Structure 1
């Protein structure tokens, strides 16, 4: 399928047609097609966003350049999901760019970015993760706690000792895990 055909499916195809098209493009190196797949991160349908994520994740080609470029997208969904795709592809080239996203204006992007850093076990991101521990957004804070646990940095884990659970059972559970890793 070429990029024009894919764009037509995205514009006027049924959900099933879009999913079939995405599945057929999991090894594309065509920049236009990759960009169209990434644009699906802004779709209202969570299933389509998930299919786009899977398509990019399963792509065996080096698509890092396209994903990295989209970390600067105007769309918060594209910035956040591209950070997660890069992390799930274990693309360590993206670490410094993802660190910058921990200061994004969107809490969703900050949460995705700090989570991606933990998934990548990016010890060089310790200070960014530490800042996110103080984020006013609960989801960002949860992602930062999980990342601190994933990285296993003792100074971060000790920092967690001073955090309160804010009445959130998930934070309480994560703090128990962190204490057990000290």
Structure 2
């Protein structure tokens, strides 16, 4: 396992290949500082580096949830949003209250990730946040909220879908039709 100094040096370099190589070697780390350095790469300029950091954090078998939860308050919208998704993919239910708070983030990307994370976690306690986001002005947040309403299967949320229109977006129309099937006779 590389030292913190080695990791820091590589992460400050311009070499995407070196960053990816070292990230791959860190997926089993339990070191707080190393995990935080990995989390910082969720905000890397290169999408491949961000993806590798996401994978390494998601696949880490150690209990790193507290570190990820702390990063839900990071100044970087990428770190806030992607940390919520990593927590959801790790099935970290203890993060649900903090993820709910992100549903009101100023960044539409973070709201989209947070609402998607709540749906992935089947977090029925996030129903009020999802309901609010069904009326969000950002179409990606709205799509995420519709999908999460369907994933959670809450009857109240599914009933809310009947009031939405998908006339301007084929993906929303498809999601609403799916929600209508679930809420109708024989549905959820």
Same fold (TM over 0.5): yes
> Residue 87 of structure 2 aligns to a residue in which SS?
helix
In the TM superposition, what are the counterparts of 1:73-88 in structure 2 within 5 Å? Answer: 73-88=74-89
Q: TM-score scaled to structure 2, two decimals?
A: 0.95
Once the two structures are superposed, residues 45-102 of structure 1 have per-residue CA deviations (whole angstroms, 9 ceiling, x without a partner) of 1111000000000000000110010001011110000000000000000000000000
1:169 alignment counterpart: 170
Displacement after TM superposition at 1:42 (Å)? 1.3
Displacement after TM superposition at 1:43 (Å)? 1.1
Displacement after TM superposition at 1:31 (Å)? 1.1
2:28 alignment counterpart: 27
CA distance in 2 between counterparts of 1:127 and 1:19 reads: 39
RMSD across aligned positions (CA): 0.8
Displacement after TM superposition at 1:127 (Å)? 0.7
> Which of structure 1's runs of 4+ aligned residues deviate more than 2 A?
none
Displacement after TM superposition at 1:20 (Å)? 1.0
CA distance in 1 between counterparts of 2:148 and 2:31 reads: 33
Displacement after TM superposition at 1:44 (Å)? 1.6
CA distance in 1 between counterparts of 2:32 and 2:38 reads: 10
In the TM superposition, what are the counterparts of 1:89-168 in structure 2 within 5 Å? Answer: 89-168=90-169
- Mark the runs of 5 or more structure 2 residues left unpaired by the alignment: 184-188
1:15 alignment counterpart: 16
Q: TM-score scaled to structure 1, two decimals?
A: 0.98
> Residue 181 of structure 1 aligns to a residue in which SS?
helix
Once the two structures are superposed, residues 114-151 of structure 1 have per-residue CA deviations (whole angstroms, 9 ceiling, x without a partner) of 00000000001111100000111100000000000000
In the TM superposition, what are the counterparts of 1:29-68 in structure 2 within 5 Å? Answer: 29-68=30-69
Displacement after TM superposition at 1:166 (Å)? 4.5
